[in-house]
Amino acid sequence: MLQKPRGTRDFLPDEMEARRTIEWQMREVARRWGYREVCTPEFEDLELFTMRSGEGIIEEMYVFEDKGGRKLALRPEITAAVIRMYINEAKVAPKPLRWCYFADCFRYERPQKGRYRQFWQFGVELIGADTALADAEIIMLAAEMLNTTGVTYELKVGHLSFMKNLLKNLEPPAQRKVMAHMDKKDFDGLKASLESIEKPDLGNSLISLVGCHDLAEAFEIAGTIPEKGRIHQTINILDAAGVDYSLNFGIARGLDYYTGMVFEGFAQNLGAENQILGGGAYRLAHLFGGDDVASCGFAIGFDRVMVSLGETQQRKDTIVAIVCTNEGRNRALEVARIFRAAGIRSEMDLMERGLGAQLAHASKSADFAIVIGQREAESGNVTLKNLHSGEQKTLDPASAIAEVGLHGAR
């Protein structure tokens, strides 16, 4: 028997309904904040991602050559593609641009619960606003989006300038290596790397930065940082807005393009793969041939949010089974059309079952049965049977629709 590729999933209707419900909650929050949806290709030129996405991502990419010999990659994330699109299509649009997306990404990772080779991100990118309020808006939006879904999580906010200031005398490749160790909290690897470049003293400062949750203390560890005023301003806005977060100056982010404020969210009930949110301020446009526009954004790991929400039952549609005899069929089709036009999920028997068998099947799958035999076909009324209580009434279609509307779903 053929199976789906490793690290991918099939979604049955119950799961898709639950996913769509959460997706629409996120979309609604994005809409209220003015973030409009964009869509980019599933694959891009490989170069788009090798330029700045970071070594980790490059190792995990699905890369292929098309028949024209072009080197392409399935997108491992959306940010680089959105900025490419901004340069191609919207460079001259009035700033800031507020964009969002819900899209699948592909990473060749070792699959486990919450880590897949095809996964979905709900993300936003704010392009062209370089202020403390822009940084704060992105964090507030991420928090509101996650809060709306009901997921319980911890939000950690940091800024790369602390780490970068400590590492400013290192060569860029050494900086990247150290940041990668910091991102993975691999302190043994960090110490070994620093020893190999004869900078062992940096290890202690970097490790104290990771353990530090106080802004004043972080400034003491990291030294003079030009962004100090803006960092204070961002934090003040978050506090005034009542955002629930903690400071964490050890956040390094796995992608190479971040420049300033960074943040991550961790679901409280997940195991190893508990990071459900990642984002920050970055600059990418100048690498792709555009102006050096400041941007800021985040992506929510949609699948991890769904795993975290678990078996939470979503409210299902009320289901009406349209049950009929041969003589009632044409009227039943008409009644089904009237019910569907009223927004009610209505299903007819397609198996040529007898009336009794139709009712028996309906009692397993539906909330109501509308029974239409010759009598109903002639009178224009319908027999409405509540399949939970067994109660039965003869009503005209409009009253039957109202009656169904009064009942919640199963």
Footprint of ligand HAM on this chain (CB under 6 A)?
Answer: 77, 79, 107, 109, 115-116, 119, 121, 123, 125, 254-255, 275-280, 282, 297-299, 301, 303-304
Q: How many CB atoms lie within 10 A of CB 31?
A: 13
Give me the least distance between CB of 92 and ligand HAM, in Å please: 22
Q: How many CB atoms lie within 10 A of CB 80?
A: 26
Name which of 15 and 317 has its Cβ closer to ligand HAM: 15
378 vs 381, 384, 401, CA distance in Å?
Answer: 8, 16, 19
Radius of gyration of the chain (CA): 28
Give me the least distance between CB of 112 and ligand HAM, in Å please: 9
Output the residue with the shortest Cβ distance to ligand HAM. Answer: 301
Name which of 118 and 383 has its Cβ closer to ligand HAM: 118
- Sequence-ordered list of residues with C-beta below 8 angstroms from that of 229, at least 6 positions apart, any chain: none
Name which of 79 and 193 has its Cβ closer to ligand HAM: 79
Name which of 55 and 334 has its Cβ closer to ligand HAM: 55
Give me the least distance between CB of 181 and ligand HAM, in Å please: 17
Give me the least distance between CB of 111 and ligand HAM, in Å please: 8
Per-residue tokens: 159:
């800024």
Give me the least distance between CB of 262 and ligand HAM, in Å please: 9
- Sequence-ordered list of residues with C-beta below 8 angstroms from that of 92, at least 6 positions apart, any chain: none
Give me the least distance between CB of 264 and ligand HAM, in Å please: 7
Q: Where are the alpha helices (DSSP H) in 299-390?
A: 302-309, 329-341, 355-365, 374-379
- Dihedral sign from CA coordinates of 326, 330, 331, 334: positive
Give me the least distance between CB of 121 and ligand HAM, in Å please: 5
Residue whose entry in the numeric block shows the structure tokens 């678990």: 310
Name which of 298 and 339 has its Cβ closer to ligand HAM: 298
Name which of 41 and 405 has its Cβ closer to ligand HAM: 41
Cα–Cα distance measured from residue 320 to residue 384, given in angstroms and rounded to the nearest whole number: 9
* Buried residues in 81-99 as b, exposed as e (16+ CB within 10 A): bbbbbbbeebeeeeebbbb
Give me the least distance between CB of 295 and ligand HAM, in Å please: 7
Confirm if 127 and 83 have CB atoms less than 8 A apart. Answer: yes
Name which of 256 and 367 has its Cβ closer to ligand HAM: 256
Cα–Cα distance measured from residue 13 to residue 380, given in angstroms and rounded to the nearest whole number: 34
Name which of 275 and 399 has its Cβ closer to ligand HAM: 275
